[in-house]
Amino acid sequence: MPDGVSAEDYRLARPVWTDISLGAITENLEEVRKLVGRPVKVIATIKADAYGLGAVAIGRHLEGLGVNGLATANFDDAVALRENGVKIPIVLFASNLPSGVKTLLRYDLTPSLYDLQTAKILSTVATRTVNVHVKVDDGLGRLGVKLVDARRFIQSVRQFPNINVEGVYTHIAFSNDAGEAWSRRRLAAFVELIGKLEQEDGLKLDFAQASASSTIICGFPDTLNTIAPGHLLFGLCPVQKQLVRTWPFKHAFKSLKARLIHTVQHNPGDDLAISGQYALRNAMRTGVILLGLDNGFRMPVTSGAYALCGGKRCSIVSVTAEYTVIDLAAAPEADVGDEVTIVGRDGAEAISLDQVGEYLGVGATIASLDLRRIPVHYTDNDFSR
Ligand SMILES: Cc1ncc(COP(=O)(O)O)c(C=O)c1O
């Protein structure tokens, strides 16, 4: 909000907002701990701007809840966390070139290591012992030193001065049956690696982790001392519903709403060029809200997508850079200033984030919306700093 503008005036000038429940995140963290069922350290994963919810606000909240660290792959988000006073370790899953590590140190970020070139540069530029986490690729095929090479790699890294391997981690993610069976074997292989590192190579690890949301929600056996959940903290399910036996999690993303800034009565024969409806056959009344492509919103890929206005379903007519136009046929009384719901409840009707994900044709809806360009109301803040 600009300086000197009251909250009320700001809402009138910028009538679009989301409600994000910090209380839901508090409860979800508790539920994760219950599911794991043993004491573990938690590195809370807040990739993709905390899955779209706002890295700084969410990171600060999680720090207040006592997590042991935060992790992201985004250098900018990590810097913003530090600049906003976050003190706990921030692991950068990856975001830099080897020669970029010196800048990570400036912000006291914990680098991930998976190549010796980075280790060499780090060892040279560090003026004190730097904690690092070695990233192991356990079959995801994305990033990290391959599991079969990990022991040798870690032995080499430990030869460098100024580097302390305090963590070793991998990421095991799946969404369906086949992935689950495969992931169980991969987790077992990683746990075996950690056992060898600790028992045979004498490495004492403060953070050894492989479990994130999919392995936790499916109850994989895990003996490692740390977990790194993301999705579950925000009430998001990363796996197909049939793989889940219990779902105690709550959506942190409660609603995405806006107010009508304009309505138009179109007559038969009028053109709606923007939505490609030329010479309308019937009269049509439309309304405009301030939500557009710049917020990661887009034209639905399926038919029948709607927003709610006055508790009624209003189909989406067009989405452009900063505006969405809806058809007000079902809400003839709707006027400038009335509330429009994209996600959330309005009277007897509600639209879930999953429904929006379906009509936008994307899986991870939150991350695909860019809430950095939408005012966010953080609610249920049950933790006071
Ligand atoms: C290395 C690593 N650990 C943990 C996570 C968190 O995964 P999830 O959000 O499924 O819990 C991610 C997310 O991509 C990741 O890359």
Helix (H, G, I), strand (E, B), or coil: what is residue 245? coil
- Ligand 1: which of 28, 43, 47 to mutate, judged by most atoms within 8 Å of the beta carbon? 47
pLDDT at 365 over 80: no
The pLDDT score that the predictor gives to residue 276 is 87
Please name the residue whose Cα sits nearest to atom 3 of ligand 1. 171
Ligand 1 atom with the shortest distance to the CA of 229: 11
Please name the residue whose Cα sits nearest to atom 15 of ligand 1. 171
Distance between Cα 173 and ligand 1 center (Å):
7
Distance between Cα 171 and ligand 1 center (Å):
6
The pLDDT score that the predictor gives to residue 385 is 35
Give dist(CA 68, CA 63) in Å, integer: 8
Between these two residues, 312 and 277, which has the higher pLDDT value?
A: 312
- Work out the mean pLDDT of the chain and round it to a whole number: 94
- Ligand 1: which of 45, 58, 134, 135 to mutate, judged by most atoms within 8 Å of the beta carbon? 45
Q: Which of 259, 218, 261, 224 is nearest to 240 (CA)?
A: 218
Distance between Cα 372 and ligand 1 center (Å):
21
Q: How far is CA 82 from the centre of its chain?
A: 19
State the Cα torsion 23-28-29-30 to the nearest 10°: 100
| 46 CB within 6 A, ligand 1 | no
Give dist(CA 14, CA 17) in Å, integer: 8
The pLDDT score that the predictor gives to residue 208 is 98
Q: What is the pLDDT of residues 298-340, one digit of tens each?
A: 999 999 999 999 999 999 999 999 999 999 999 999 999 999 9
Q: How far is CA 43 from the centre of its chain?
A: 14
Q: What is the pLDDT of residues 111-161, one digit of tens each?
A: 999 999 999 999 999 999 999 999 999 888 889 999 999 999 999 999 999
Distance between Cα 349 and ligand 1 center (Å):
33
User: For residue 87, which amino acid is it?
Assistant: K
State the Cα torsion 318-294-59-342 to the nearest 10°: -10
Q: What's the pTM value of the predicted model, to 2 decimals?
A: 0.92
